[in-house]
Amino acid sequence: MAAAPDIHGTVAPGFEPVRDAFTENFTRRGEVGAGVCIWHRGRLVVDLWGGVADPASGRAWEADTPTTMFSSTKGMSALCLLMLAERGRLDYDAPVADYWPGFAQAGKAGITVRTLLNHRAGVVGFDEPLCIEDFELRPERVVEICERQAPAWEPGTKQGYHGVTFGPYAAELFRRASGGQTIGQFFAEHVAGPLGADVYIGLPEEHDARVATTLGPTLADKLLRVVPKLFLHRGIEGRVFRQAVQRSSCTRRAFAHPADLGAAGLANYNTYRVRRLELPWCNGVGTARGLARVYQALVAGGTLDGVTLARPESLTPVHARQSWVERDEVLRKPLGFSQGFIKEETHLFCPNTTMFGHPGAGGSLGMADPTAGVALGYVMNKMGPYVRSPRALALCHALYRSPGLQAGQAA
């Protein structure tokens, strides 16, 4: 068991189990640096941070330390699209090609915005290779590859997590529907800026020195966890790992390109070259406080401290599982989506089906639970070889067994 670092911050009475789980993440589950922030029924009840942001320099994790959120970025992108729809600029049930005519190529003419955002379009991976330079210097090539990509199944008939493709498709759809503004620009102007939320899709250079260093799985992690799962694990983790090495599987296709922004390219996320780009599926940067603040606005009906992101009636449809399957074609588990937000199994992050948000590779998590009145943001810098992070799960399970939350539910 590792020694616990100094844990900083505050916990409201009745939510002490979250502090215990946060501490145990360091002592038992390999946490290096992290922050977690939780609101409950309009009250900040957990605001904790600890550990090391950069082991090489010894820089400590502070209250305002941001880190790369990986797929938790998708939740912020989904919010921007929801806000665009509320403004009358986007119709979820209209064909994507109405906004982006080139999208209609290769059998995609009938795919609606909702089908695309709910991971049912079949454009589950890119058959043509892409790299950082394409997003950096040749964005028109990214658009052309999106247009040429054919679906892996008849659109609407299956669901498979569009782990990478969600981002480029959402980005171009947003740009076309908004009249030229990018998701990152819109998010800064209409979400993060007004709320004072320390979250970015496309990081301004003045914030780069604060960002925690992303730490990939060690050789020991791979030998002790990945290899046994690949060959011996009979559950979800084993299924995903085995599918990931099968050349023709949807799981492999979903994460094959761009390779330098995938598992083999984790070091690239520690460069400002990548952080400054708008990659709305993987490179959002934020603090636990910032992520929780955005979701608190959504739990509160769309308005927080006088800042309105959306009306309650625009958020209500997201509370339901718009798409749900017992075995997602990519993640090989029960899973659902609503307009780009993830809908998870009730034994994982949250016991209520109204929960919406998005986890990220390694463990980061942003979520809203309208039923319990909970908003949560968790960010960390140590990646792990898991489909769902045991550290994020430990925090969520501790939250829902906390006397403070249970008392609020009873009331």
Q: What is the pLDDT of residues 246-299, one digit of tens each?
A: 667 888 888 889 999 998 899 999 999 999 999 999 999 999 999 999 999 999
Residue ranges in the chain modelled with pLDDT below 50 = 230-232
Backbone angles phi, psi at 335, to 5 degrees: -165, 155
Residue 187 tokens, joined: 């998010």
Helix (H) or strand (E) holding 219, with range, is helix 219-221
Dist CA 367 CA 40 (whole Å):
12
Q: Which structural domains are found in the chain, ordered by start?
A: 7-75+185-410 (3.40.710.10)
Helix (H, G, I), strand (E, B) or coil at 193: helix
Dist CA 174 CA 77 (whole Å):
9
Backbone angles phi, psi at 34, to 5 degrees: -165, 160
Q: Exactly one of 57, 71, 249, 389 is catalytic; which is it?
A: 71
Q: Is 364 a catalytic residue?
A: no
> What's the pLDDT at 264?
86
For the beta carbon of residue 332, count every other beta carbon within 10 angstroms: 24
Backbone angles phi, psi at 94, to 5 degrees: -90, 150
**Does residue 9 contact residue 292 with C-beta atoms inside 8 Å?**
no
Map tokens 């550290």 to a residue.
391
Residue type, 165: T
Helix (H) or strand (E) holding 267, with range, is none
For the beta carbon of residue 285, count every other beta carbon within 10 angstroms: 26
Residue 102 tokens, joined: 């080139």
**Does residue 120 contact residue 127 with C-beta atoms inside 8 Å?**
no
Residue type, 139: P
> What's the pLDDT at 232?
47
Task: Give the chain's length.
Answer: 411
pTM flag (> 0.85): yes
